[in-house]
Structure 1
Amino acid sequence: MAETPLWFMVSTFVVLAVFFIIDLFVIGRRPHVPSTRECVQHIAFFVVMALIFGGIVWGVAGSKPAIEFYSGWLTEYSLSIDNLFVFVIIMANFAVPKQLQKFVLSIGITIALVLRGIFILLGAAIITRFTWVFFLFGAFLLVTAFKLAFGKDDDEEYHENALISTLRKVIRISDEYDGERLRTTKNGVKYWTPMLIVFLAIGTTDVMFAFDSIPAIFGLTKDPFIVFTSNVFALLGLQQLYFLLGALLDKLVYLPVGLSVVLGFIGVKLIMEALHANTLPFINGGQPIHAVPEVPTWLSLAVIVVSIGTAALASVLKMRKIDAQAEKD
């Protein structure tokens, strides 16, 4: 297998930077509610770009990193769709006007990219030195998978965190938005607009998203380049996905189950890798357990595709059944 050449990585970062700037700060800054056609075209473009990029990686660096990219991209994209539940709740909770939601999302997604970049750098540095951290990552993903499968009802209502609640008590915040402004003046008095709280809500929520997504992607690949590019492609087009799925998110009833299967599988895979490269003295005398099988990359991709695909199909079938029943009634 060939290694990913430096020129290819640099070129990729430049192209992705252009994509991201156009997506968020050119298209995303136009204050309007995108039509269904616009959303579909935008999402389709970035999905095709991701598929093409994976093919280029295959040609440049070999099949293994390409399959790792596809696996990581599908996982991160699926997690991003689930995260849209929270975005919808935040927007509704703070009554963000429809025409401002694209702007809010562009800032929130930028925060997400920065946070994920930091977590990726930290994660890569940690796993290089301490392979036992995979035990922690694996356990965390198993707990997350359990919560997704059985604890979803507890998370359907947004609750302000301590930072935002404290901020409300110490600074003046107006009740109304003033376009995209963070500061406004009412009767000669300076106020912060609710936009500040919305940014903080999305930003602090993105931290939790990073805690979910980064351990998951490191369970599929240890290559920081693949980790970062799969995250960027998952975030591109997320604005349009928000508007396209906004009215349907509550109908994707089996998506959390599909995600829980994926995260549970990756959690087990991480623990198996940690055992295979074990250095902890209280496990097998600090020696690797070579009897533990290694999970092939193709199997990870297959589990992800089947789990998410089955969850989506089951959700669509249930939605059609409910609609058909409603027509009879």
Structure 2
Amino acid sequence: MESLQTVGSPALWGGFIAFVIAMLALDLGVFHRKAHAVGFKEALGWSTVWISLALVFNAGLWWKFGGGPAVEFLTGYLIEKSLSVDNIFVFVVIFSALRIPALYQHRVLFWGILSALVLRAIMIFAGVAMLERFHWLIYVFGAFLILTGLKLFFQRNKEDHPEDGWMMKMARRTIPSTPRFDGHHFFTVENGRKLATPLLMALILVEASDILFALDSIPAIFAVTRDPFIVFTSNIFAILGLRSLFFLLAGAVEKFSYLKVGLSGVLVFVGTKMAIIDFVKIHPAVSLGVIAGLLGVSIVASLIKSRNTPPHAPVTPGAEPLAKPSET
């Protein structure tokens, strides 16, 4: 069994965590202090910022530690970024089903992704520790990813209805709630009772969906590297850019009809790589090329199909509220 090696010194860990905290504070405290609907230009700008920061960080890894860690980070980031796109499909369904106004969607995603950062960190360190102690789990992870990829392929046309799932049914039974919105608040008071608004229900579904997607994405990156710093930073950069990517693509998710085929191919590939890791060594650069190729072909094929398909009414990422929000 290989010994665990990491490029992350205490100073790098501290600096990166401080950077994440500062960016989150800047996001919520300055740019989104007042609730507003995020438009295409704003989403494009923030997406460019997050991708640029990830590439600058990648260049820093290359300069400091060489090509190996840099290629591992870029491959891991591409895997996490591509798999996070699948989250967007689910987020669109959640906001549409619960009729969350575009005005409040950023607030739900912010707190959902903030909790996802903590959960991902716990799952990453637990996964690294488990693989170090029980090496045979890598074969379990590999088989799980292969089965997940095949399931995604065969169920690619199945519609998601998270609002009807067991998580939402349990939440509605245990948490007193109301269909009425109260501005951007997660709770409101009606007849002296404190009730959850639809925003809290949307937040619960967003967090639950992220946990489910993490079960795929975190084992997938272990096929590339087991360096906890590389795994953590690539995950976090992908998650931090998820909100802006949602607002950028939410109105066009139907155009990417073959994306799930590409994602299923990525999962099968990385699962196979994990399953044969002790017998066949695949260079990180080869993995990067295969993953980029699978995603690139699926995106191009999707755009060609959408161009040749007659237009129809798009799926809206949010609808008007059930009742007029009260002033707060």
TM-score by length of 1: 0.88
Task: Give the RMSD, CA atoms, in angstroms.
Answer: 2.1
Q: Note the C-alpha offset of 1:58.
A: 0.7
**Aligned position for 2:221:** 217
TM-score with structure 2 length normalisation?
0.88
Code of the residue aligned with 2:122 in structure 1: it is I
Aligned-pair identity in percent equals 38
Shift in alpha-carbon separation, 1:186–1:324, aligned structure 2, 3 A:
closer
Q: How does 1:77-92 map to 2 (within 5 A)?
A: 77-92=81-96
Residues 217, 29 of structure 1: alpha-carbon distance in 2 compared, 3 angstrom cutoff:
farther
Alpha-carbon offset, residue 152 of structure 1: 2.0
Change (3 A) 1:24 1:139: farther
Match of 2:100, as an amino acid? V
Q: 2:165 maps to what in 1? A: 161
The equivalent residue for 2:149 is: 145
Structure 1: 5+ residue stretches without partners: 277-291
- 1:139 positional shift: 0.7
Aligned mates of 1:185, 1:238 — CA distance in 2: 32
Q: SS state of the match for residue 247, structure 1?
A: helix
Counterpart-to-counterpart distance in 2, 1:36 and 1:126: 42
Instruction: Check conservation: 2:162, 2:205, Cα contact below 8 A.
Output: no
Instruction: Indicate the larger mover: 108-117 or 261-270.
Output: 108-117
Give me the whole-angstrom Cα distance separating, in 2, the residues matched to 1:96 and 1:215.
32
Distance in 2 separating the partners of 1:221 and 1:2: 10
Question: Alignment partner for residue 128 of structure 1, among 125, 129, 132?
Answer: 132
Q: CA deviation at 1:323?
A: 4.7
CA distance in 1, matches of 2:159, 2:218: 21
Q: Which structure's relative contact order is higher, taking Cα pairs within 8 Å and 6+ residues apart? A: 2
- Deviation, structure 1 residue 179: 1.6
Correspondence 1:294 to 2:298: no
CA distance in 2, matches of 1:228, 1:126: 16
Identify the residue that residue 306 of structure 1 maps to in structure 2: 293
Shift of 1:93: 1.1
**CA 1:163–1:41 in structure 2 vs 1: closer, same or farther (change >3 Å)?**
closer
1:49 aligns with 2:70: no
Which shifted more, 24-33 or 98-107? 24-33
Is the CA contact (8 Å cut-off) linking 1:2 and 1:60 kept in structure 2? Answer: no
Question: How far apart are 1:312 and its partner, in Å?
Answer: 1.1
Code of the aligned partner of 1:221: T
Q: Aligned residue for 1:262?
A: 266
Deviation of residue 15 (structure 1)? 1.8
Kindly report which structure 2 residues correspond to 1:1-329, keeping only aligned pairs within 5 A, or say none.
3-24=7-28, 26-273=30-277, 276=278, 292-323=279-310
CA distance in 1, matches of 2:183, 2:274: 46
Q: Which consecutive residues of structure 2, in runs of 5 or more, have no partner in the other structure?
A: 313-328
Instruction: Indicate the structure (1 or 2) with the bigger Cα radius of gyration.
Output: 1
Work out the number of aligned pairs and report it. 308
Deviates more, 1:309-318 or 1:179-188: 179-188
Cα separation, partners in 2 of 1:4 and 1:164, compared to 1, 3 Å: closer
Query: SS at the partner of 2:34?
Result: coil
Q: What amino acid does structure 2 have at the position aligned with 1:135?
A: Y
Q: Offset of 1:13 from its aligned partner?
A: 2.6
* Deviation digits for residues 183-228 of structure 1 (CA, Å, limit 9, x no counterpart): 2222344322222222211111111011011101111110010001
Task: Measure the CA separation in 2 of the matches of 1:267 and 1:305.
Answer: 16
